[in-house]
Amino acid sequence: MTHCGNLTSANKHWLIDLPPAGTYIFRLEVNQRLNLDFLSGQKNSMNKNVLIISALAFVALMAFIFVQSNTPAPTRAPMVSVTPIEVNGQTALGKAKFDDNCASCHGENATGLEGLGPPLVHKIYEPSHHADIAFMLAARNGVRAHHWPFGNMPAVDIEESDMQAIIAYIRKLQVANGID
């Protein structure tokens, strides 16, 4: 075995010197069987499943790296256009609490923020699809991503009365923007 690192087409062997191991030279037979031979000439049967699983894991890792490197960073741009409303009383409190607790992900006036959180002034959140209790439970318990690709929403530590004011504000925004 003096031809390390060469591809010999006559016997269809690849001899590959693996630098990290340094002391081992491996021969990979390119035929129906897959053998792993050490310099000593000992034949050790390699489990094909291990090789297949390793190859699949490598491909999955490369795909993950490719997707991550090609995923644009959040732009924080508003996702929808929302006509602001005049606030007073409970809706003024709701807007203030929304701005403090929700706007960092859902945007000013619930427009949503590209890459961060969905717009709440959207037909998906109309009362017939997401009742007020859905907003209450989402804030209290968090929610698993199911309509949008933003990931899971964490629970928010907020008083129930403040959440009710936020919901009143969101519903008024929705009505003013044609969602009811």
Query: Looking at the chain, how many residues does it have?
Result: 180
Coil, strand or helix: which one is 36? strand
Q: With DSSP H G I counted as helix, E B as strand and the rest as coil, what are the percentages for the chain, rounded to 5?
A: 40, 15, 45
Give the number of C-alpha atoms closer than 13 A to the C-alpha of residue 85, restricted to the C-beta side. 23
Q: Which domains does the chain have, with CATH numbers?
A: 7-70 (no CATH), 89-176 (1.10.760.10)
- The C-alpha atoms of residue 89 and residue 145 are separated, in whole angstroms, by 33
pTM: 0.60
| Tens of pLDDT, residue by residue, the chain (180 residues) | 444 443 444 444 444 444 444 444 444 444 444 444 444 444 444 567 777 888 888 888 887 777 666 555 667 899 999 999 999 988 999 999 999 999 999 999 999 999 899 999 999 999 999 999 999 999 999 999 888 888 899 999 999 999 999 999 999 999 999 998
Cα end-to-end span (Å), the chain? 79
